[in-house]
Amino acid sequence: MTVVITPSWSNGVQKLKVAPQPPAPIPRGLTPPVLENTVHKTRCLAQLRSKDQDLEKYIYLSQLKDADHSMFYRICLDHMAEITPLIYTPTVGDACLRYSHIYRRPEGLFISIQDKGKVGSILRNWPRINDARIAVVTDGSRILGLGDLGVNGMPISIGKLSLYVAGAGIRPQSTVPICIDVGTDNQKFLDDPLYLGLRQRRVPQEEMHELMEEFLHEMSVVFPDLLIQFEDFSTDKAFAFLSAFRDKYPLFNDDIQGTGAVVLSGFMNAAKLSSAASGRPLTDHRILFLGAGSAGVGVAQQLTSYFKLLGLSEEEARERIYLVDSQGLIYDERGPMAEHKKYFSRKDYTGEPMKDLVEIVDYVKPTAILGLSTIKSAFNKAVVERMAAHNARPIIFPLSNPVRLSECEFSEAVEWTNGKVIFASGSPFPEQEYEGKMLYPGQGNNMYVFPGIGLGSILSRASTITDSMIEAASLGLANSLTPEEHADGLIYPRISRIRDISGQIALSVIREAQKQGVDRSTDLRQLDDDALLEHIKARMWNPL
């Protein structure tokens, strides 16, 4: 057993007692006579699987992580495909919605607007300051596609960090989940007597910005070796904070950049399959996005690299991408629009607003349709059938999370395209048998890349996270498929290989950081690729 933290409370002040690492052996007599690790793993798995509800399984796993984090991560690593949906999307979405009701114990750091002016002193309460290497920070303003969940967004930071540990071997004690509480506009939560956050509406943007400036400055003072991942900030803040702070501190936005990287990678592999079936040149793809928020625009920006890597100009790349938001196709003549939509706004369409997705598909004739809209079933039978009519193998990526907000299900896409679809979704779907052949859905989720981006950035001690480091992560992922995975028609590697994949991505990220001169562990420059990969793997934490 590895009990790391025991919270205790006195006068409303939380005190954390930190147990030594590695944990002292438990004195004889305080555990049953026979508690053997392998058998205990079987016991834990049986307890987990005996629960009917995924949220119950989530709660069980949270408690296991608290009581015996080594066993928790052993189970994660050995059963990645089974456990990931329980500690991450889709179940983490339910855990967030229910957080104030299922809450058992404190985990992570809570910074509130009431701490403005004294954020540094709050950060110094963290019990493992010297170990801290990676923080996932949310303000709960757009959790998955579930909207403003306020402080109930904390499980998303916790879940992402569990994947950093499981997926890339970041030490558990080096992770810092953070939730910034500046209120919530979710009336249901404000009315909920059990709600754990500040009972007030969100503060104005300027006040939030001032808090973020103080928070990030103090973070850099208290945690000088820390990388920050911004997570699930609503789109306006996601873009504003990334551009305001990315040159000052080592940070990246997972929804804009991580999602961009993972989708670029899957798209590169999908486009090859699609072009092989149609005979269409790789440069001839046209990509239609439903959703133009932080994720949609972030992915669209990253996908311009697909075309540029094939030798097209920036303008030629941009021409091949179309965005649709809640008002329909985005084009200049439609009128004023949010800043982040302008780059992809069409200049070549001047007619009446085009809102119907089938009509838009017939107008654009995309080879790929990507959903980041939070609109369940937006890719309905008519839309998918039109995609199949225009393409020998249509690329259909319903990327919204959690699973109940997916733009379409894998089984539907298979049926409506007669098994021709090349598919990736944000949350997992089961494989399908079609005409005697097994078809596998991809999971186009940033979970494939952020652990490796984090590991590479931490090991190289990158002072900033550049666009080319993100692109390198994407190419590292795209090139990580085995011949068997290619033969099975996959566009992403199997998640059970996440440690290998993260190692490869970390290597690509470190090399790019070195090229850009933003690495501070310059000794790694002397290692050749084999030696660097060995160095990366040797640094990965492993459960017992």
What does the per-residue mask of binding to ligand PYR show for 430-459, with x meaning CB under 6 A?
A: ---------------xx-------------
C-beta closer to Mg ion: residue 4 or 465: 465
3-state secondary structure 109-127: EEEEHHHCCCHHHHHCCCC
CA–CA dist 341, 294 (Å, integer): 10
Q: Which of 64, 71, 137, 144 binds ligand PYR (CB under 6 A)?
A: 144
Interaction of residue 94 with ligand PYR, rule CB under 6 A? no
* Shortest Å, Cβ 295 to ligand PYR: 7
Report CA-CA distances (Å) from 484 to 203, 479, 490, 519: 52, 13, 9, 35
- Taking the alpha carbons of 241, 247, 252, 257 in that order, is the dihedral positive or negative? positive
Shorter beta-carbon distance to Mg ion: residue 292 or 422: 292
The C-alpha atoms of residue 116 and residue 112 are separated, in whole angstroms, by: 7
Residues 368 to 407 in contact with ligand PYR, rule: CB under 6 A: 401
For residue 59, is it left (φ>0), alpha (ψ between -120 and 50) or beta?
A: alpha
Q: Residue 468 burial by CB count (10 A; 0-12/13-18/19+): exposed, middle or buried?
A: middle
Identify what 216 binds: Mg ion, ligand NDP, ligand PYR, none; CB under 5 to 8 Å per kind: none
Question: How far, rounded to the nearest angstrom, does the alpha carbon of residue 312 sit from its chain's CA centroid?
Answer: 29
Give the Cα separation of 68 and 84 in Å (integer): 18
- Partner whose footprint covers residue 327, from ligand NDP, Mg ion, ligand PYR, none (CB < 5 to 8 Å by kind): ligand NDP
The residue from 57, 65, 160, 341 that is catalytic is 160
Do the beta carbons of residue 330 and residue 373 sit within 8 Å? no
Nearest-approach distance from CB 470 to ligand PYR, in angstroms: 15
With contact defined as beta carbons under 8 Å apart, do 109 and 123 qualify? Answer: yes
DSSP 490-523: -SS--GGGHHHHHHHHHHHHHHHHHHHT--S-GG
Give the nearest distance from C-beta 401 to ligand PYR in angstroms. Answer: 4
| Set 58, 73, 88, 492: catalytic member | 88
Candidate list 115, 255, 407, 519; residue touching Mg ion; CB under 5 A: 255
Considering only CA atoms, which of 265, 341, 251, 328 is closest in space to residue 302?
A: 265
Comparison of 470 and 513: residue with beta carbon closer to ligand PYR: 470
CB of 100 to ligand PYR, least distance (A): 20
Name, in order, each residue with C-beta under 8 angstroms of 177's C-beta and a sequence gap of 6 or more.
Answer: 107, 108, 109, 135, 136, 154, 157, 158, 160, 161
- Token pair 């059990």 is found at 194
Stretch that binds Mg ion, among 23-31, 229-237, 404-412, 431-439 (CB under 5 A): 229-237
In the bound state with ligand NDP, the residue whose beta carbon lies nearer, of 219 and 238, is 238
The size of the chain, in residues, is 544
**CB 114, min distance to Mg ion, A:** 26
Among 115, 218, 232, 471, binds Mg ion (CB under 5 A): 232
Residues 379-418 that bind Mg ion (CB under 5 A): none
Going across the sheet that includes 227-230, the strands are: 109-112, 175-181, 134-138, 227-230, 251-253
When asked if residue 255 is in the footprint of ligand PYR (CB under 6 A), the reply is yes
For the CB of residue 324, give the shortest distance to ligand PYR in the complex, in Å. 19
Tokens of 286: 């046209």
Q: Least Å distance between CB 31 and ligand PYR? A: 39
On whether the CB atoms of residues 300 and 289 are closer than 8 A, the answer is: yes
Among 107, 148, 218, 254, binds ligand PYR (CB under 6 A): 254
Q: Which residue is nearest to ligand PYR (CB)?
A: 401
Residue 109 and residue 467: Cα distance in Å, rounded? 29
Work out whether strand 5-10 and strand 13-18 pair parallel, antiparallel, or are unpaired: antiparallel
Number of H helices, E strands in the chain: 22, 16
Residues that bind ligand NDP (CB under 6 A): 142, 144-145, 235, 255, 259, 262, 290-296, 324-327, 372-375, 399-401, 405, 426, 444-446
Query: Considering beta carbons, is residue 156 or 387 the nearer one to Mg ion?
Result: 156
Can residue 181 be called a binding residue for Mg ion (CB under 5 A)? no
Q: Annotated catalytic, 515?
A: no
Sketch the per residue contact string, 210 through 239, with ligand PYR: x for CB under 6 A, - otherwise: ----------------------x-------
Q: Which is nearer to ligand PYR, 174 or 446 (CB)?
A: 446
The SS3 assignment for 448 reads helix
The whole-angstrom distance between residue 219's C-alpha and the CA centroid of its chain comes to 22
Output helix, strand, coil percentages for the chain, rounded to the nearest 5. Answer: 50, 15, 35
Q: With CB under 5 A as the contact rule, which of the stretches 231-239, 296-304, 411-419, 532-540 interacts with Mg ion?
A: 231-239
Spatial CA neighbour of 135 closest among 164, 114, 103, 106: 164
Shortest spacing between CB 487 and ligand PYR, in angstroms: 28
Select the residue whose beta carbon is closest to ligand NDP and give its number.
293
Concerning whether 272 is annotated as a catalytic residue, the answer is no
| Least distance (Å) between residue 132 CB and ligand NDP | 25
Catalytic residues: 88, 160
Residues that bind Mg ion in the complex, under the rule CB under 5 A: 232, 255
Residues that bind ligand PYR in the complex, under the rule CB under 6 A: 89, 144, 232, 254-255, 401, 426, 445-446
